[in-house]
Structure 1
Amino acid sequence: MAEKDELGRRGEIVAARWLEAAGCVVIERNWRCASGEIDLVLRQGTTTVFAEVKTRTSLAYGHPFEAITRAKQARLRRLAAEWCHENGPVPGEIRIDAVAVIDAWSAEPSVEHLAGVV
């Protein structure tokens, strides 16, 4: 596995643990369809949350949130709709979040969570 892929996978683990500590329940990890992938699908109360996780080793090449372009946001909206279509009626509200993980391999990685950004 490429180092970049390992970093991304580690970031998703860190993000999932952080979100679980914040009261979310992980429903799916790395859900895939022909159109792409959703990193994390979670439930927070009655809200279904679709989370895009971006991981960096440092801020040397910019903040992880900078990688979530308008095109990526549009793709996330389409993927969330596909997930909802595939999984039947989704009760409650739907939200798309972004999670930035910096220094994922350290004992205390930095995690930033933006709720409802897309």
Structure 2
Amino acid sequence: MNTHQSRSALGRYGEELAARRLTAAGMTVLERNWRSGRSGEIDIVASDGDVLVVCEVKTRRGGRFAHPMAAVTPVKAERLRDLAERWIQTHGGAPPGGVRIDVVGVVLPERGAPLVEHVRGGVT
């Protein structure tokens, strides 16, 4: 397995753990890995009541972990907002509760259970 394949498998595993965490928190996963042409991808689109949640998932192996919000720069956050707008345009309009951008950080330690941290953003 090359580095890209292993990173891709790591990301998919992290996204699966993130989807489970969001579901356990009472959210409904609407879509995973939604792409908008060359603009990018939303890892998970979910609903939390009447709020649309765009979720970025960051997966790291233990030892090389920064807080998940550190991985979402202002440029990345703006791109996620743009992608959320595109998702809304293609899925019938804005939800009554607005849009929130969340981050789920997944750390896979060498031993023990994965650590999954869900950080909720503000509603816009």
- Please give the TM-score of this superposition, normalised by the length of structure 1: 0.89
Structure 1 CA distance, aligned partners of 2:71 and 2:29? 23
| CA distance 1:78–1:105, change in 2 (3 Å) | farther
Q: What is the percent sequence identity of the aligned residues?
A: 47
The one of 80, 83, 95 equivalent to 1:79 is: 83
Partner of 2:24: 21
Structure 2 Cα separation of the partners of residues 95 and 104 of structure 1? 29
> Which residues of structure 2 form unaligned runs of 5+?
none
- SS of residue in 1 equivalent to 2:66: coil
RMSD between superposed Cα atoms in Å: 2.0
Q: C-alpha separation between the residues in 2 aligned to 1:59 and 1:76? A: 27
- Match in the other structure for 1:95: 100
* Shift of residue 107, structure 1, vs aligned partner: 6.1
User: Any conservation in 2 of the 1:10–1:105 contact (CA below 8 Å)?
Assistant: no
Distance 2:9 2:110 in 1: 10
SS in 2 for 1:101: strand
**8 Å contact from structure 2 (residues 65, 107) kept in 1:** no
SS in 2 for 1:20: helix
Q: Does 1:111 align with 2:116?
A: yes
Provide the C-alpha distance between the structure 2 equivalents of 1:97 and 1:74, rounded to a whole number of angstroms: 13
| 1-structure distance, mates of 2:55, 2:104 | 7
Q: What letter matches 2:35 in structure 1?
A: R
- Whichever of the two has the greater Rg, that structure is 2
Structure 1, gaps ≥5 residues long: none
Which secondary structure does the structure 1 equivalent of 2:19 belong to? helix
- Corresponding pairs, count: 118
* Pair 1:50 & 2:20 matched: no
| Residue 105 of structure 1, CA deviation | 8.7
Q: Which of 71-80 and 101-110 deviates more?
A: 101-110
User: Does the 8 A contact of 2:34 with 2:41 survive in 1?
Assistant: yes
CA positional deviation for 1:106? 6.6
